[in-house]
């Protein structure tokens, strides 16, 4: 959603008699800008409240009716309504104000532990539901009591769009005027703006300023520095792992069927497809045996399509607060949309949404996350290609497996002889071993029933053994390690056979 669309959305909420609007964000300057833009056409005065300063007329709004007549010339600090720092005093004060207005309360939800505050807040909200006045509450996490929640509507504050990010970069450069030199072509500037997508305005200004001050220049070389900082910021958010195209070195052996499908699906992002009113592909589900390349496939898709890879780990979504997990999911997919085009990898999706079939041991959380995911997958308009991976399809809700949810569902079996040869060559070369110095035919035969991950680990463990024995790695040493290993196909034979039976005639093989 663009900033202009956000303004229209907030205006609609105000005019449609919503007395309480909740905005969960730490970007208070953006909230202030949004409120000022939204109330300009509505001709409404705006007040803001915090425990530190009480109730004041918000700056930058021409429809605030009063000015501080006692302020010294040139002073820009707004007038404070006396004795309104206390939440109860502030609410009683605005109850007595007859005209329509917007009241922005910062970090107010912490005061709802007081029953008097809760009761008085409800009374004000009931009063406002008749005169189009609005209480807007902001904070990083806003928790409302049940008595208030039914009157409230949540406003999703989107991450900055490209226009906002461009302005933030320009503002940062202007603030450093005389101390840095800017050497960016229009194309490089567009790339820099694209690189900052997914960050807040404050983060963008800091990153740009740091990159420019480091050597006194802001040029194309700084795009890499900004990207590194962006990776760190996304990791710090705790919801997504970020792998840029430049850092993605994944190689996938085999999977010819999947690769052929992806080559065709990629045309869905082309201008020709848009001209025919075709929507880009939504995503794929990859199910199969552990260690056989599902995760590697997600990385390879992002690398082949030259898109950043965003990994959503199921465990990171869960929050101890009611509604916190759903909020984390909304934030994660919102971040993915802001970084589009991108590949969103949801690893082990059955752990996030597997409880949707029946068990309510988590209080229905899996059902709610499952519903949120299906709605987003169906309605998303941004070019975010979803790659979901699953080991245990028996835990997946049947609604997720029906045709139309994903563009295709693929099944990954143990690698065949040709794929094992490719996997052996890839990992030998990765560890600086020449594949032609080994008897690949013998190694391929010996590793029958081994997964790709098991083959990789065999090479790694054999290399450690060769270092310990002070000898070169050879075929005999690898075969020795192979014979000493019990693969998953043996230790979990029944589970693998059950998975194969479920996948037969239901999913498309990746080979």
Q: Kindly list the distances between the CA atom of residue 317 and the CA atoms of 130, 179, 228, 408, 505, in Å, as whole numbers in the listed order.
A: 38, 43, 24, 25, 34
> Higher model confidence: residue 366 or residue 221?
221
Joined together, the tokens standing for residue 480 give 């020795």
pLDDT at 251 (0 to 100): 74
**Segments of 116-215 assigned E as strands:** 134-139, 152-155, 181-183
Q: Are residues 297 and 437 in the same domain?
A: no
What mean pLDDT is predicted for residues 89-94? 93
> Higher model confidence: residue 118 or residue 339?
118
CA distance 255 to 59: 60
CATH value at residue 31: 3.40.50.300
Q: Are residues 437 and 326 in the same domain?
A: no
pLDDT grade for 67, boundaries at 50, 70 and 90: very low
pLDDT at 168 (0 to 100): 92
**Residue 278 domain-assigned (yes or no):** yes
Q: Kindly list the distances between the CA atom of residue 511 and the CA atoms of 255, 260, 374, 507, in Å, as whole numbers in the listed order.
A: 5, 10, 28, 12
Given a cut of 70, whether residue 70 has pLDDT beyond it is no
Joined together, the tokens standing for residue 269 give 């992002």
**Residue 11 domain-assigned (yes or no):** yes
pLDDT grade for 358, boundaries at 50, 70 and 90: very low
CATH value at residue 212: 1.10.8
Given a cut of 50, whether residue 465 has pLDDT beyond it is yes
Given a cut of 50, whether residue 73 has pLDDT beyond it is no
Q: Are residues 315 and 190 in the same domain?
A: no
Q: Into how many domains does the chain fold?
A: 4
pLDDT at 23 (0 to 100): 93
Given a cut of 60, whether residue 322 has pLDDT beyond it is no
Q: Are residues 277 and 406 in the same domain?
A: yes
Joined together, the tokens standing for residue 113 give 């532990």
For 192-235, write each residue's pLDDT tens digit: 998 888 788 888 999 999 889 988 999 998 888 888 887 777 77
CA distance 422 to 440: 10
Boundary-marking domain end, from 108, 136, 155: 155
Give the other-Cβ count within 10 Å of 312's Cβ: 23
**Residue 504 domain-assigned (yes or no):** no
The residue whose two tokens read 């005389």 is 178
CA distance 203 to 207: 6
**Residue 303 domain-assigned (yes or no):** yes
The residue whose two tokens read 């032609």 is 436
CA distance 19 to 15: 10
What mean pLDDT is predicted for residues 460-478? 94
Give the long-range contacts of residues 472-477, CB within 8 A, separation 24 or more: 473/433, 474/437, 474/438, 475/438, 475/439, 475/442, 475/443
Given a cut of 80, whether residue 265 has pLDDT beyond it is yes
For 422-434, write each residue's pLDDT tens digit: 999 999 999 999 9
Give the other-Cβ count within 10 Å of 262's Cβ: 19
**pTM of this structure:** 0.68
Q: Are residues 146 and 201 in the same domain?
A: no
Boundary-marking domain end, from 155, 182, 205: 155
Phi/psi at 380 (nearest 5 deg)? -60, 140
| Of 77-81, 87-91, 138-142, 328-332, highest mean pLDDT | 87-91
CB within 8 Å of 363: residues ≥ 6 apart: none
User: Is there a contact between 286 and 388 (Cβ–Cβ < 8 Å)?
Assistant: yes
Given a cut of 80, whether residue 403 has pLDDT beyond it is no
Q: Are residues 405 and 268 in the same domain?
A: yes
**Residue 510 domain-assigned (yes or no):** no
CATH value at residue 447: 1.10.8.60
pLDDT at 279 (0 to 100): 81
Boundary-marking domain end, from 202, 237, 272: 237
User: Is there a contact between 293 and 254 (Cβ–Cβ < 8 Å)?
Assistant: yes
pLDDT at 62 (0 to 100): 55
Mode of pairing for the β-strands spanning 309-313 and 240-243: antiparallel
Q: Kindly list the distances between the CA atom of residue 319 and the CA atoms of 2, 52, 108, 315, 365, in Å, as whole numbers in the listed order.
A: 29, 29, 21, 9, 10
Joined together, the tokens standing for residue 375 give 């709605």
Q: Are residues 270 and 407 in the same domain?
A: yes
What mean pLDDT is predicted for residues 6-18? 92
**Residue 274 domain-assigned (yes or no):** yes
Q: Are residues 103 and 16 in the same domain?
A: yes
CB within 8 Å of 484: residues ≥ 6 apart: none
Q: Are residues 82 and 141 in the same domain?
A: yes
**Residue 426 domain-assigned (yes or no):** yes
DSSP code, position 391: S
pLDDT grade for 72, boundaries at 50, 70 and 90: very low
Given a cut of 70, whether residue 90 has pLDDT beyond it is yes
Joined together, the tokens standing for residue 296 give 């590697």
- Count CA within 13 A, CB hemisphere, residue 11: 15
pLDDT grade for 74, boundaries at 50, 70 and 90: very low
**Residue 73 domain-assigned (yes or no):** yes
Closest CA to 94 of 144, 128, 65: 128
Q: Are residues 24 and 143 in the same domain?
A: yes
Given a cut of 70, whether residue 1 has pLDDT beyond it is no
Using a pLDDT cut of 70, give the percent of the chain over it.
Answer: 91
Q: Are residues 233 and 284 in the same domain?
A: no
Q: Are residues 379 and 270 in the same domain?
A: yes
What mean pLDDT is predicted for residues 346-352? 83
pLDDT grade for 357, boundaries at 50, 70 and 90: very low
Domain that includes residue 478, residue range: 417-491
| Mean predicted lDDT score pLDDT of the chain | 84
């Amino acid at each position: 959603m663009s900033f202009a669309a956000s303004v229209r959305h907030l205006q609609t909420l105000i005019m449609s008699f919503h007395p309480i609007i909740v905005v969960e964000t730490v970007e208070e300057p953006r909230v202030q800008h949004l409120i000022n833009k939204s109330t300009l056409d509505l001709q409404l005065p705006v007040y803001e409240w915090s425990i530190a300063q009480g109730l004041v007329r918000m700056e930058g709004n021409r429809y605030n009716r009063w000015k501080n007549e006692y302020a010294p010339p040139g002073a820009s600090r707004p007038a404070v309504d006396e004795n309104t720092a206390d939440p109860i005093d502030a609410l009683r004060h605005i109850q007595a104000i007859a005209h329509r207005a917007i009241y922005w309360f910062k970090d107010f939800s912490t005061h709802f532990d007081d029953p008097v505050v809760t009761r008085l807040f409800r009374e004000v909200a009931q009063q406002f539901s008749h005169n189009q006045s609005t209480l807007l509450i902001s904070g990083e996490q806003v928790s409302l009591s049940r008595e208030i929640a039914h009157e409230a509507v949540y406003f999703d504050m989107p991450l900055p769009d490209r226009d906002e990010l461009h302005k933030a970069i320009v503002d940062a450069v202007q603030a450093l005027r005389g101390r840095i030199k800017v050497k960016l072509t229009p194309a490089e500037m567009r790339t820099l703006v694209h690189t900052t997508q997914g960050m807040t305005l404050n983060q963008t200004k800091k990153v740009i300023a740091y990159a420019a001050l480091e050597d006194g220049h802001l040029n194309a070389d700084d795009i890499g520095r900004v990207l590194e900082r962006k990776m760190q910021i996304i990791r710090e958010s705790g919801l997504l792992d970020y792998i840029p195209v430049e850092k993605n070195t994944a190689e996938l052996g085999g999977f010819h069927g999947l690769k052929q499908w992806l080559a065709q699906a990629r045309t869905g992002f082309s201008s020709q497809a848009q001209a025919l009113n075709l929507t880009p592909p939504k995503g794929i589900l990859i199910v199969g045996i552990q260690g056989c390349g599902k995760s590697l496939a997600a990385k390879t898709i992002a690398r082949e399509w030259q898109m950043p890879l965003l990994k959503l780990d199921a465990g990171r979504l869960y929050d101890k607060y009611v509604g916190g997990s759903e909020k984390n999911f909304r934030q994660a997919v919102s971040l993915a949309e802001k970084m589009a085009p991108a590949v969103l990898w949801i690893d082990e999706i059955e752990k996030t949404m597997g409880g949707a079939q029946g068990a309510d041991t988590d209080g229905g959380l899996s059902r709610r996350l499952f519903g949120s995911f299906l709605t987003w997958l169906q309605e998303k308009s941004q070019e975010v290609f979803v790659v979901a991976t699953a080991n245990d399809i028996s835990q997946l809700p049947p609604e997720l497996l029906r045709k139309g949810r994903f563009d295709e569902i693929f099944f990954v079996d143990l690698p065949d002889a040709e794929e094992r040869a490719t996997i052996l060559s890839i990992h030998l070369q990765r560890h600086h071993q020449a594949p032609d110095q080994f008897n690949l035919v013998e190694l391929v035969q010996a590793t029958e029933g081994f997964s790709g991950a098991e083959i990789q680990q065999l090479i790694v463990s054999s290399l450690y053994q060769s270092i310990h024995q002070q000898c070169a790695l050879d075929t005999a040493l690898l075969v020795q390690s192979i014979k000493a290993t019990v693969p998953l196909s043996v230790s979990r034979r029944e589970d693998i056979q059950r998975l194969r039976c479920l996948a037969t005639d239901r999913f498309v093989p990746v080979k």
